[in-house]
Amino acid sequence: MGKLFGTDGVRGVANLDPMTSEMAMKLGRAAAHVFRKREGRQKIIIGKDTRVSGYMLESALTAGLCSMGVDVLLVGPLPTPAIAFMTRSLRADAGVMISASHNPYQDNGIKFFSNDGMKLPDELELRIEDLILSNEIEHIRPTADAIGKAYRIDDAEGRYIEFVKRSLPREMDFQNMRIVLDCAHGAAYHVFPKVIRELGAKVWVMGNEPDGLNINDGCGAVHPERLQQMVRDRKADLGIALDGDADRALFVCEQGQVVDGDHALAAFALDLKRLGRLRHNTVVGTVMSNFGFEACMREAGINLIRTAVGDRYILERMVAEDYNLGGEQSGHMIFLDYHT
């Protein structure tokens, strides 16, 4: 077996190594052992996107976790940021998201969050790999009432919607705005339109009819062409496209032009600086952030720090050095004053 974890968890073609039910069960057992840091019953949250293989992997992960005496909280299809939030909100010991992000439906992935909603550092991922390779925990087999249970959390969606709305200033709403949303037939197909409508906007929605096979198929942040056209046709003020697990956003302006992550991040940085809320007058990007973005920040007197590609590396740097804004060209945005 090669290295399991990539830049964003374990990923591959569903039902082929390493993205098999057998491996998912092993990952569940190893993660249960790694996250056991206190006495008493542990609990771990599992969320997923809308891929057909999510059912298989969710069941296998649940079996692995329960076999180690961990209770499992199942929240169903929700955005990746919602799983990070719910992990903290429910005071779970860890969270798991089953998704392959912007990849086609044939793929799937598994990524973990620690109890503070942060993605795992390399050392913890390596420890999980070691446990799987070494069979070190094969003998740990709780029995009788020590076996874990699985529960459905029915109000997870509502909790997350309220959290997102509370992140905006009370005086801010989207009244009189015309917004087109593309949910990529993915994890946010239900919550995203609800949030924007409850904030008062006139909303048109596409990519909100998942069938297990159509996630990211000609839609979402990777394929914004239909969104651009609908923004023009509806004379909308804004278009927003998410990817399959809704942890990245791409914007379309009223002229139907794409506003990528670097442009959006520049706008956010300039606005936070104007408000006096850009911590240490610094924004965190990656080695892929374009030079136009760098020049814009320099002209505005804003420092740019670059990390390796991947939102986990941006977040690690932000936490380590106390910055509150970061992102990358692909559309990952992190506002650390509100969420990881």
* Catalytic residue numbers, as ranges: 101
Write down the residue that tokens 């990746």 correspond to. 80
Nearest of 298, 302, 305, 296 to residue 326 by alpha carbon: 305
- What CA dihedral angle connects 298, 300, 302 and 307, to 10 degrees? -50
Residues 6+ apart with CB under 8 A from 124: 34, 112, 114
Instruction: Give DSSP secondary structure letters for 137-178.
Output: TTT----GGGS--EEE-TTHHHHHHHHHHHTS-TT---TT-E
How many angstroms separate the CA atoms of 110 and 60, rounded? Answer: 12
Count of residues in the chain: 340
Strands (E), the chain: 5-6, 9-13, 43-48, 71-77, 94-98, 107-114, 150-152, 178-182, 202-206, 238-242, 249-252, 258-259, 282-286, 303-307, 325-327, 333-335
How many angstroms separate the CA atoms of 287 and 137, rounded? Answer: 39
> Are 103 and 120 in contact, with CB atoms under 8 Å apart?
no
Nearest of 229, 285, 284, 272 to residue 252 by alpha carbon: 229
